[in-house]
Amino acid sequence: MNRIPQYLFANQKNYKGYVDPRFKDLAKQFSQMQDARTGYGGAALVVFFQGEKVIDIFTGKKSISENWQSDTLSVCYSTGKGVLATLAHILVSEGFLNYDTPVAQYWPEFAQNGKEKITLRHMLCHQSGLFDIRSNIQDAVEMTDWSYMLQVIEQATPRFSVGADAAYQPFTFGWQVGGLLEKATNKSLKELMEQYLIKPLNLDGAFYGVPEYEMNRVARPLPTNKKELKPFNPNAKKVKRKKTHMDRLMEFSGHNPLDFQDAMIPKGMSKLSMFDESALKAIIPAANGVFTAQSLAKIYAMLANKGTWNNQQFIKPEIFQQLSTIQYIKRDRVMPIAMHWRLGFHRLLTLGKKAPHGFGHIGFNGSGAWCDPQRQLSFAYTHNFQTGSITGDYRLWGLTQETLRCADADLYGYKGWF
C-alpha cells in the first residue's frame, strides 16, 4: 500500500463531530490519515485546550455492521497505564498511601522473595524489577483472573535489586499498582475508579473490566484485505521464528532479547485476544483498559490543569510536582528508546515538536493519551485497526505533532515544526 499518495489525495472531511476553527488543520490531518482505511475500522480524536474542548471527531467502522459513534469504547492496551497512575496520584493526594512507603506496609503478603523495600515510586517508574510475566505464569489465560494474578505478584522475585535498574512492565504494572491501591484503601479497583475518576469527572466510559451491559459499545477489529489469521492449532508443527527488525534493533541497542520476551510475551498469548469477551470482562489494567477518547482526554485535561478541573482539586500541587518530574532518562531494559519516565507516564513522542513538560501513555495498538501543562493541552486518540507497535504508529506521532502546532499557532502566532 502506497501511503503517501493515499494521504495526499485523501478526503479531508471524512469525519463527524465538533472542530474549533483554531484546530481545523488537525481535523484535516485526522481525516487524511484515516480516509483510506475507514472500511477496516474506525477512530476518534478528542482534544482539550485551556479548559475547553476544541476537537471531538470520529470516523469509520466500529464493527462490520456499525459505524463509529461519539461514545464508542475502544480497547487501548497500555494507554490504560496512565489512567491507573492518575488514580494512584489522586489516592496519594487523599492520604491513603505514600510514594516512598514500602508496599509491604499496606500489603504484607507482597514482601515475599526480596520485595520488602519496593515502594509505589519504584512501581510507577518501572524500577521494581518485577517486569517478568513469562516466567511467572504458564498460560496467558491466567491473566484474566485478578485475584490469582495478585497472588502471582506476591510470590514473584524481582529480576534486579530495587531501584538498581529500570525495565518497562508491560503487563505486571497493573497488578502491582492496582493491587496496592486496593490494599491501601480496602476498596476494589472498580469502586476506586467510580469514586475518584468516573463520577467526579463525569466520564462517558472508562473500564478495567467491561460490564456486560456496556459490551455492545466496544469497537471490535474488522477483517482486513490481508490473509486471515489461522486459528490456533496446538498440534501444528512449530516453525523457528525469523528475526524481525525489532529483534535486530534490540540486539544493536545492547538489549538482551530475553528481557523483552519475558516482559512482553506471556506463554500462550496466541490463544488470548484482548477482544475476547473473557478478556474484556477481566481486570488486566496494564493491557486491557477500555475507554472512549472523550474520557481519556478529560482525564488528561485535569492533569493539563495541574490536578484541578471545574474548581475541584483532584491532585495537590506538591503531589503534581512529584508525578510530573522525570525519574530517569536512560533507556530501560525493555523499551528500544529512552522514554523519560515520570511516575507512571512517559514523554511525548512527536515528529519534531518539543513538549518538555508533556507526559502521557501510549498503547500497543497505537492509541494514546497525553497532556502538556505548559500549553494547558490534552489529547486522546483511540481506534480499532489491526496494528501494533510498542512506540505507537506514525498516525499517533503525526497527530500529536499537529495538535502541538495548532496550539502554538494560537499561543504564539506561529506553528513551527520544532
- Is residue 5, in this structure, part of any structural domain at all? no
371 C-beta neighbours (distance < 10 Å), count: 31
Rg, C-alpha atoms of the chain: 21
Say if 41 falls within a structural domain: no
Residue 59 is assigned to a structural domain of this protein: no
3-state secondary structure of 118: coil
Q: Which domain holds residue 388?
A: 73-223+243-400+409-418
Q: Could you tell me what percentage of the chain is helix, strand and coil, using 3-state DSSP and rounding each to the nearest 5? A: 40, 15, 50
Residue 216, phi then psi, degrees to nearest 5: -70, -10
Q: Could you give the angle at which helices 79-93 and 172-185 cross, rounded to 10 degrees?
A: 20
pLDDT in tens, the chain (418 residues): 567 778 778 899 999 999 999 999 999 999 999 998 898 999 999 999 999 999 999 999 999 999 999 999 999 999 999 999 999 999 999 999 999 999 999 999 999 999 999 999 999 999 999 999 999 999 999 999 999 999 999 999 999 999 999 999 999 999 999 999 999 999 999 999 999 999 999 999 999 999 999 999 999 999 876 543 343 343 444 445 556 555 565 566 567 899 999 999 999 999 899 999 999 999 999 999 999 999 999 999 999 999 999 999 999 999 999 999 999 999 999 999 999 999 999 999 999 999 999 999 999 999 999 999 999 999 999 999 987 777 767 899 999 999 999 999 999 999 999 9
pLDDT at 128: 98
In this prediction the pTM is 0.93
- Domain assignment of residue 7, yes or no: no
Please give the grid coordinates belonging to residue 314: 483532584
CATH of the domain at 122: 3.40.710.10
Cell numbers describing residue 256: 538482551
Q: Is residue 310 part of a domain?
A: yes
Q: Under DSSP, is residue 247 helix (H, G, I), strand (E, B) or coil?
A: helix
> Which residue's C-alpha cell is 513469562?
134
42 falls within a domain:
no
Cα 242 from Cα 347, distance rounded (Å):
32
Query: Is residue 83, in this structure, part of any structural domain at all?
Result: yes
- Domain count of the fold of the chain: 1
Distance CA 157, CA 332 (A): 19
What are the grid coordinates assigned to 246, written together? 525489532
The reply to whether 311 falls in a domain is: yes
